[in-house]
């Protein structure tokens, strides 16, 4: 083990010790995580290809679904390959710069999961509650005003959070009890006051996922009230909204559980906390494309057509 630094020397290399208490059983974790990673990359790649290649899916709602698939495809790329190598070969070291970059990209890309769901809620709001002005509002020039502010917000908050974490002095230990770098997992190793870092972490959690989910909830509340008051076929009008709500529920449950496990006193074991954190980052990426594929009729129809076309070519 690396010796403790002396004086003003600070650790610049860290060890990711997630699941090491499992001993030899830790190597077997490669199998489920590799299968989930394979499912994630395959399902999201098919969904992206399907939406790009089929003209019937070239509408704003499906473009947003494709963007969610891109986010879900990228998210695991920042930590799963390193985690799999660690399971197999015990390659568990990471530099401070690498750790900070991993924190930034996981959190920055992950933040767009809720932000894209907010944009999708706006799409459904205009489609159901303002159908006559839908195409006008969903034109890129007009829709940019709903895009620019969240993008700037996400970027500034995460750049500030990672920059402040990088200025901390790490002189207690260099072992992170996780499979990848998390903001609080790194910050709690600092040997100085981290109040600003904790406050900024809480602020980021409130201003991104919490605010997004508040606006999403308001949008769907207005949609449901509008549908019930009108004479429209309720289930047909809100079918895609139900799909979005299923995805939102999974994302929110895992996000809140992972967030609270670090910041509250609880009896959650380290292995359970690590598992929850990995599922927060990986589970939505695996099952979002499946949920959209099963619940969205247009995608389901186009997938069957693509499958039949591939089968004919194979013959």
Residue 162: predicted pLDDT: 93
Residues facing 111 on adjacent strands: none
- Bridge-based pairing of strands 175-176 and 93-95 is unpaired
2: pLDDT confidence band, cut at 50, 70 and 90? Answer: very low
Query: How many other C-beta atoms lie within 10 A of the C-beta of residue 10?
Result: 14
Residue 240: predicted pLDDT: 64
Q: What is the mean pLDDT of the chain?
A: 82
Secondary structure element (H or E) that encloses residue 39, with its range: helix 30-53
Examine the pLDDT at 34 and tell me if it is beyond 90.
Answer: yes
Examine the pLDDT at 7 and tell me if it is beyond 70.
Answer: no
Q: Comparing 304 with 104, which gets the higher pLDDT?
A: 104
Examine the pLDDT at 204 and tell me if it is beyond 70.
Answer: yes
DSSP annotation of 300? H
Q: Which two tokens stand for residue 121?
A: 């809620």
The CATH classification of domain 13-314, taken from the options 1.20.1070.10, 3.40.50.2300, 1.10.3720.10, 2.160.10.10? 1.20.1070.10
pLDDT in tens, 123-154: 888 888 888 888 887 777 777 777 788 889 99
Looking up tokens 């998390």, which residue turns up?
A: 182
pLDDT in tens, 76-106: 999 999 999 999 888 888 999 999 999 999 8
How far is 57 from 54, CA to CA, in rounded Å? 6
């Amino acid at each position: 083990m690396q010796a403790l630094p002396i004086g003003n020397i600070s650790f610049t290399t860290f060890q990711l010790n997630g699941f090491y208490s499992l001993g030899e059983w830790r190597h077997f974790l490669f199998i489920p995580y590799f299968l989930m990673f394979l499912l994630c990359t395959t399902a999201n790649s098919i969904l992206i290809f399907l939406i790009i290649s089929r003209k019937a899916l070239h509408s704003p709602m499906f473009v947003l679904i494709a963007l969610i698939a891109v986010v879900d495809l990228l998210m695991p790329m920042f930590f799963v390959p390193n985690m799999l190598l660690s399971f197999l070969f015990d390659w568990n070291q990471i530099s401070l710069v690498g750790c900070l970059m991993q924190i930034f990209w996981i959190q920055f890309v992950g933040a767009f999961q809720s932000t894209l769901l907010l944009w999708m809620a706006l799409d459904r709001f205009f489609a159901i509650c303002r159908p006559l002005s839908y195409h006008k509002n969903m034109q890129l020039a007009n829709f940019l005003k709903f895009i620019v502010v969240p993008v700037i917000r996400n970027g500034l908050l995460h750049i500030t959070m990672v920059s402040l974490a990088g200025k901390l002095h790490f002189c207690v230990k260099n072992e992170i009890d996780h499979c990848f770098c998390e903001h609080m997992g790194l910050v709690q190793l600092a040997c100085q006051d981290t109040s600003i870092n904790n406050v900024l972490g809480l602020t980021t959690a409130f201003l991104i996922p919490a605010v997004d989910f508040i606006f999403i909830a308001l949008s769907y509340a207005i949609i449901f009230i509008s549908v019930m008051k009108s004479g429209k076929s309720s289930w047909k009008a809100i079918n895609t909204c139900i799909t979005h709500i299923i995805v939102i529920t999974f994302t929110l449950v895992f996000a809140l559980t992972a967030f609270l496990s670090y910041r509250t006193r609880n009896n959650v074991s380290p292995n359970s906390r690590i598992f929850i954190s990995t599922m927060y980052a990986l589970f939505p990426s695996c099952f979002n494309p499946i949920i959209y594929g099963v619940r969205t009729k247009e995608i389901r129809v186009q997938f069957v057509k693509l499958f039949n076309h591939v089968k004919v070519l194979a013959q």
